[in-house]
């Protein structure tokens, strides 16, 4: 509905509508984008986790083997120390037995018929043989321990080298896992943030229609006056024919008046064009006092439209000539 104070001419209308409070989700597509990124990171994270577990398991195994072999090396080293001492002790016993056997042999050779000396000689030689056997045994045990120590030491060196490799591998795998895990956490946080942004929220929405151009006429009719083009002598009355073209279904009464300078000497009676009529004649009195000139005036058509007072103005020019008597006198 347009008020009668609305500007005449082309105007642009934009329809605005506000919804009731409803659930609204914003930027839902961002969730899918962030979930896709998380889906890309997840297998990389799983692979890094598996590699780290494998590396740590290998490190644990090599650490255990290196520790076990180190313990064996220490055990064999302690056994070698004991074997060396046993060899030294057996060597000392052998030296004592050798000296005792030499003494007993000399005594027995000096008294061949002395039975006790012969027995002592036999016992000393027997003890010498026992001491020699004991030394040989300790020497053999020592050699076996030395060989075992060399074998275990070699294995321990290999285990230590393997331990260095698994230590480096596990450190690298752990670092890579930490990096990918950080990326995964960021991706998870971005998914959560996108879900929070897109969570349904209660909101009112304002919706605007496509702008429409509307032309506003000053009145629901068009008025065409037929004003004499020649000057009218003062003291005459004229009829100005008026035709109206009704628009927008308007059919009610129209009152037309002439607005002119009250000092011009021109007067007019209002014209009423009845309902459903489209023409009439406005009587204009050019009084004898009217000045000779072209007088600007305005035809004003007044009516009621949609229960509002509306008026249409049309400028006209009424030309006034000298009275006929004056013209004749001249």
From the CB of residue 282, how many other CB atoms can be counted at a distance below 10 Å?
Answer: 21
Within 13 Å and on the Cβ side, how many CA atoms surround 45? 17
Alpha carbons 269 and 238: distance in angstroms, whole number? 11
Q: For 124-156, write each residue's pLDDT tens digit.
A: 999 999 999 999 999 999 999 999 999 999 999
pLDDT of residue 19: 65
pLDDT of residue 72: 95
pLDDT of residue 20: 64
Strands 236-246 and 201-203: unpaired
For the chain, helix (H) and strand (E) counts, in that order, are 3, 15
Strands 232-233 and 308-321: parallel
Structural contact between residues 236 and 267, judged by C-beta atoms closer than 8 angstroms:
no
pLDDT of residue 224: 96
Q: For 195-249, write each residue's pLDDT tens digit.
A: 998 888 876 667 777 888 876 778 899 999 999 999 999 999 999 999 999 999 9
Distances (CA, A) of 328 to 164, 233, 264, 286: 139, 12, 23, 18
pLDDT of residue 2: 61
Nearest by Cα to 80 from 153, 173, 14, 144: 144
Alpha carbons 210 and 228: distance in angstroms, whole number? 48
Average pLDDT, the chain: 91
pLDDT of residue 27: 86
If phi > 0 it is left, if psi is from -120 to 50 it is alpha, else beta; for residue 322 that is beta
pLDDT of residue 220: 93
Q: Tell me which residues of the chain have a pLDDT lower than 50.
A: 328-330
pLDDT of residue 218: 83
Nearest by Cα to 267 from 293, 238, 243: 238
pLDDT of residue 302: 96
Distances (CA, A) of 60 to 73, 74, 107, 154, 231: 20, 21, 70, 20, 124
pLDDT of residue 146: 95
- Report yes or no on whether pTM surpasses 0.75: no
Structural contact between residues 236 and 288, judged by C-beta atoms closer than 8 angstroms:
no
Q: For the sheet containing 271-273, what is the strand order? A: 232-233, 308-321, 293-305, 254-260, 271-273
pLDDT of residue 213: 82
pLDDT of residue 4: 60
Token readout for 254 is: 């129209």
């Amino acid at each position: 509905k347009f008020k009668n104070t609305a500007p005449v001419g082309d105007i642009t209308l934009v329809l605005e509508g506000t919804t009731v409070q409803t659930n609204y989700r914003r930027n839902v597509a961002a969730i899918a984008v962030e979930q896709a990124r998380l889906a890309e990171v997840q297998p990389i994270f799983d692979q890094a986790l598996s590699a780290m577990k494998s590396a740590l398991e290998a490190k644990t195994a090599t650490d255990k083997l290196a520790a076990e072999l180190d313990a064996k090396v220490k055990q064999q080293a302690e056994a070698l120390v004991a074997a060396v001492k046993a060899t030294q002790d057996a060597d000392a016993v052998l030296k004592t037995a050798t000296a005792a056997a030499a003494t007993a042999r000399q005594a027995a050779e000096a008294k061949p018929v002395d039975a006790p000396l012969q027995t002592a000689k036999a016992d000393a030689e027997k003890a010498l043989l026992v001491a020699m056997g004991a030394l040989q045994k300790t020497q053999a045990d020592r050699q076996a321990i030395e060989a075992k120590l060399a074998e275990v030491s070699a294995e321990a060196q290999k285990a230590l080298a393997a331990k260095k490799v698994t230590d480096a591998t596990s450190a690298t795998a752990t670092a890579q896992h930490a990096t990918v895990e950080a990326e995964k956490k960021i991706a998870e946080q971005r998914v959560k943030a996108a879900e929070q942004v897109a969570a349904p929220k209660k909101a009112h929405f304002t919706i605007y229609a496509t702008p429409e151009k509307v032309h506003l006429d000053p009145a629901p009719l068009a008025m065409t006056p037929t004003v004499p083009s020649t000057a009218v002598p003062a003291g005459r009355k004229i009829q100005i024919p008026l035709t109206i073209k009704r628009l927008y279904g308007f059919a009610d009464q129209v009152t037309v008046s002439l607005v002119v300078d009250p000092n011009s000497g021109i007067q007019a009676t209002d014209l009423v064009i009845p309902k459903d009529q489209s023409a009439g004649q406005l009587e204009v009195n050019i009084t004898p006092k009217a000045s000779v000139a072209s007088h600007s005036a305005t035809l004003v058509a007044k009516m009621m439209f949609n229960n509002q007072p509306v008026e249409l103005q049309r400028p006209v020019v009424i030309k006034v000539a000298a009275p006929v008597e004056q013209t004749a006198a001249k």
